[in-house]
Amino acid sequence: MALHQADRRKVDRDEVFLEYTKSICPVCKRVLDAEVNVRDNRVILRKRCPQHGPFEALIYSDAELYMAQQRYNKPGTLPLEFQSEVSDGCPLDCGMCPEHKQHACLAIVEVNSGCNLDCPICFADSGHQPDGFSLSFEQVEFMLDRFVAAEGEPEVVQFSGGEPTIHPQILEFIALAQAKGIRMVMLNTNGIRIARDRRFARELAALKPHLYLQFDGFELETHLRIRGKDLRADKQRALDACAENGLTVTLVAAIEKGVNEQEVGAIVRFALAHEAVRAVAFQPVTHSGRHVEFDPLERLTNADVMKLVAAQVPEWYRLDDFVPVPCCFPSCRSMSYAFVDGDGVVPFTRLLEIDDYLDYLSNRVLPDPEVRQALERMFSSSATPGAERALLACESCGIDLPGRLDELEDKVFMIVVQDFQDAYTLNVRQLMKCCVVELVPDGRLIPFCAYNSVGYREQVRAELSGVEVAPVVPNALPLQPLLQPTPYGSKTANGTGIVAPVNASNVGRGLE
């Protein structure tokens, strides 16, 4: 017996336990306790539903980077008012409730659910559909007023959809938001109407919203797999129409594993060369709404996208040219600013020690609080092209530029990398500091990642369209036997696959 015990060796777990948090079941959406662990330098969220069993999802593919980014965690700012009360706890009280840790840097208004495309990948589950909604002027005005009431002087509103350019009153909405004093009004579009309707492009030019143009790459296959159509000529025409009409553009690329990872570098080079384009926003595909089948443990994260940029544009960018954004959770968004000259780009990270200013945990005395404030405006979810002026205009700016700032207009280029959460990856810890919100017609401001994963989107659509909307379940590989299609192309639970109930949660109970 003694000999036998000596033979039994204790072994270590194959992972490092990092965080204890909450998430939801991707199938039934109930709130669950969750763990974040590091395994093979990958950050993995794990949770167990008493009905549907255990789930694991990759939330960051580089644990070292994830840990290093924690220093960039800025204390949140209180909004002027909250729209909901704390009653059931996060993420069921949205929003925003008084427990939320950050105000809204950026708000999205989805003006309709209809679209002139039926993309295989669409987190909003939009398209040519028999039912849906289209907001009235009064509804949009009420939503914007609530945003102004919460923020005072809001930074950014994005009009989205559906496809917002097919809403008959979209120009009025843009003018209205501008009249309400919102600093930057953006239009999120697939560009088809701008490409094909010259009068519309000219009318937009009079209002000058910044365009957030869906742009996933140059290969036919990419277009077919993400958009279901070859839109290459439309994209080029839309961009040329923008240049012609003095409209500035951010290219927004949804990046999916095995689809367009290889196009990241080409998108950056194209963006730098096109006179209308000021920025690129890369978003690993959000597995909410409609999307292609994916493996939650092999999904793309911000770290992968930044490494793709560094690998495909090595002469200009390195991984450390991307700075984690401190207003939200630093692993949610990273950004890079660069000057563009004849020889290529000079990232701002090569010009000053940004770490010296945006490390919120270090005890070191801040070299200059004014520079920190300017950098916080640049590295923020509300930052739009031109945000670098906050730094460059700064009296004692870390760069102290000679020459005139107004000559810089088109000489600064921005890359944003943003990972949105879905029902698989949702980490309540990150969600509680989310600073991107959906404005909804009942006046709430719902954090974007809660809106897309917890069930709020389905509730709002049902209310606005008067048609019941099935709860969307991620189209994940391990869930396939449990799924059936919805009328909009997304997936929902088919009611099978319920495992023996085990309730592992003790929240609300004590020793018996």
Partner 1 sequence: MTIAPEEIKSCCAAAYSSEAARFLLGDSFHPGGAALTSHLIAALEVGTGATVVDVASGPGTSALQLTRETGADVIGVDLSPTSVAAGARAARDAGLSERVRFLQGDAEALPLPDASVDGALCECALCTFPNKEAAVRELARVLRPGARLALADVTADVTRLPPELTGLQAWIACIADARSLAELASLLGGAGLIVEQAERHDEALERLLERIDGRLRVARLLGASFVDGALARGRDLVAAAQAALARGDLGYGVVVARRP
Give contact residues for partner 1 (rule: CB under 8 A). Answer: 339, 341, 343, 346-347, 350-353, 356, 364-365, 367-368, 398-404, 407-408, 411
* Cβ proximity of 5 and 24 under 8 Å: no
Residue with tokens 């590091």: 38
Report helix, strand or coil for 161: coil
Between the alpha carbon of residue 52 and those of residues 22, 134, 478, the distances in Å are 16, 36, 11
Min separation Cβ 64 and partner 1, Å? 17
Closest approach, Cβ 405 to partner 1, in A, equals 9
H/E element holding 341? strand 333-341
- Which one, 81 or 353, has the nearer CB to partner 1? 353
Nearer to partner 1, 368 or 442 (CB): 368
Give the C-alpha separation, 186 to 173, whole Å: 11
Instruction: Name the β-bridge partners of 255.
Output: 284
Give the 3-state secondary structure percentages of the chain, helix then strand then coil, rounded to 5: 30, 20, 45
* Cβ-based nearer residue to partner 1, 230 or 353: 353
CB of 350 to partner 1, least distance (A): 4
Measured distance between the N- and C-terminal CA atoms of the chain, rounded to whole angstroms? 37
Residue 491 dihedral angles phi and psi, to the nearest 5°: -115, 155
Instruction: Quickly list DSSP for 406-439.
Output: GG-TTSEEEEEEE----TTT--HHHHTT--EEEE
Q: Which is nearer to partner 1, 367 or 478 (CB)?
A: 367
Query: Least Å distance between CB 478 and partner 1?
Result: 44
> 3-state secondary structure string, 165-192?
HHCCCHHHHHHHHHHCCCCEEEEEECCH
Nearer to partner 1, 172 or 355 (CB): 355
Report in angstroms how near the CB of residue 307 gets to partner 1 at its nearest: 20
Residue 29, Cβ density class (10 Å: 0-12 exposed, 13-18 middle, ≥19 buried)? buried
Nearer to partner 1, 78 or 366 (CB): 366
Closest to partner 1 by CB, 76 or 367: 367
Nearest Cα residue to 334 out of 360, 354, 314, 312 = 354
Nearer to partner 1, 219 or 355 (CB): 355
Rounded-to-integer distance, Cα 440 and Cα 461, Å: 10
> 202 or 411: whose CB is closer to partner 1?
411
**Minimum CB–partner distance for residue 471 and partner 1 (Å):** 50
Closest contact distance (angstroms) between CB of 385 and partner 1 is 17
CB of 80 to partner 1, least distance (A): 33
Instruction: Name residue 410's beta-bridge partners.
Output: none
Q: Are strands 491-493 and 483-485 parallel, antiparallel or unpaired?
A: antiparallel
Q: Which is nearer to partner 1, 239 or 415 (CB)?
A: 415
Query: What is the closest distance, in whole angstroms, from the C-beta atom of residue 357 to partner 1 in the complex?
Result: 10
Angle of helix 170-179 relative to helix 137-151, nearest 10 degrees, comes to 30
Contact between residue 222 and residue 121 where contact means Cβ atoms under 8 Å apart: no
In 3-state terms, what secondary structure has residue 277?
A: strand
* Rounded least distance, CB 363 to partner 1, Å: 9
Q: Which of 130, 128, 132 is nearest to 112 (CA)?
A: 132
User: Could you tell me which residues are beta bridge partners of residue 508?
Assistant: none
- Least distance (Å) from partner 1 to the CB of residue 75? 21
**CB of residue 398 to partner 1, shortest distance in Å:** 6
Cα separation, 56 vs 222, in Å, equals: 28
Closest CB to partner 1 among residues 292, 408: 408
Q: Which is nearer to partner 1, 88 or 353 (CB)?
A: 353
Instruction: Determine the Cα–Cα distance for residues 61 and 90; give it in Å rounded to an integer.
Output: 26
**What's the token pair of residue 428?**
């309540």
Q: 335 preceded by cis ω (within 30°)?
A: no
* Distance of alpha carbon 396 from alpha carbon 353, whole angstroms: 14
**Nearer of residues 367 and 443 to partner 1, judged by Cβ:** 367
Residue 465 identity (one-letter amino acid): S
Among residues 170, 168, 172, which one has the least CA distance to residue 187?
A: 170
Least separation in angstroms between CB 366 and partner 1: 10
